[in-house]
Amino acid sequence: MVKLNSYKVTISIGASKPTQIIWYFINIVFFKSSLPFPSSIKTYLLKLFGAKIGIGVRFKPCINIKFPWKLTIGNDCWIGEQVWIDNLEPITIGNDCCISQGSLLLTGSHDAMRSTFNYTSGPIILEDGVWLGAKSVVTSGVVCGSHSVLGAGSIGDKNLEPYTMYKGNPALPVLKRTIR
């Protein structure tokens, strides 16, 4: 039996309540919207709220970013439609990464083995050249090694080795990646 009345929130938000409220509305208007606001505007807003964003980053419509102050994105990255960056903990995305449509980066969870359902979390790191296929999921504490690929619909709940392609739930290595 889960005892939710004894559950305590242990998340460090990292921003004041007014900042969180203002971000909530900016996220709705400029990021979650299907209107194609330019990436330059989205980059400016993210930086205004503490994100570290490189040059040449493209943000498609209908994305959700929980806490920009816990987000770092390198140069020349693509963030596709309906991507959800649920960054209760820091998320670092390297250079030349592609986060395809509907992907989810999920830093938080709960300990299902405890009756108190304690919050668990960990940062996510996507090294340079990572490609997350459409509707893939990366969970807390995972490092996606340089130029690794997580196939469409796959769940990365363990570290991904560099230059390796993964598929399935849980994702398993299926092929070494050779870039020509």
Three-state secondary structure of the chain: CCCHHHCCCCCCCCCCHHHHHHHHHHHHHHHCCCCCCCHHHHHHHHHHCCCEECCCCEECCCCEECCHHHEEECCCCEECCCCEEECCCCEEECCCCEECCCCEEECEEECCCCCCCCEEECCEEECCCCEECCCCEEECCCEECCCCEECCCCEECCCECCCEEEECCCCEEEEECCCC
For the chain, the structural domain boundaries read 38-176
pLDDT at res. 112: 82
Average pLDDT across the chain, whole number? 94
Q: Is the peptide bond before 170 cis (omega within 30 degrees of 0)?
A: yes
pLDDT in tens, 12-56: 899 999 999 999 999 999 999 999 999 999 999 999 999 999 999
pLDDT greater than 80 at residue 4: no
pTM score, whole prediction: 0.93
Q: What is the pLDDT of residue 12?
A: 86
Please give the structure tokens belonging to residue 151. Answer: 């196939």
pLDDT in tens, 100-153: 999 999 999 888 888 777 888 999 999 999 999 999 999 999 999 999 999 999
CATH code of domain 38-176? 2.160.10.10
pLDDT of 144 reads 98
- Residue 103: C-alpha distances to residues 33, 117, 118 (Å): 17, 26, 25
The alpha carbon of 15 is separated from its chain's Cα centroid by a whole number of angstroms, namely: 19
Q: How far apart are CA 82 and CA 85, in angstroms?
A: 10
Angle at 166 between CA 160 and CA 171, to 5 degrees: 80
The answer to whether residue 3 scores a pLDDT higher than 80 is no
With 70 as the cut, is the pLDDT of residue 7 above it? no
Q: What are phi and psi of 26, to 5 degrees?
A: -65, -40
Q: Compute the distance between CA of residue 118 and CA of residue 95 in angstroms, rounded to an integer.
A: 34
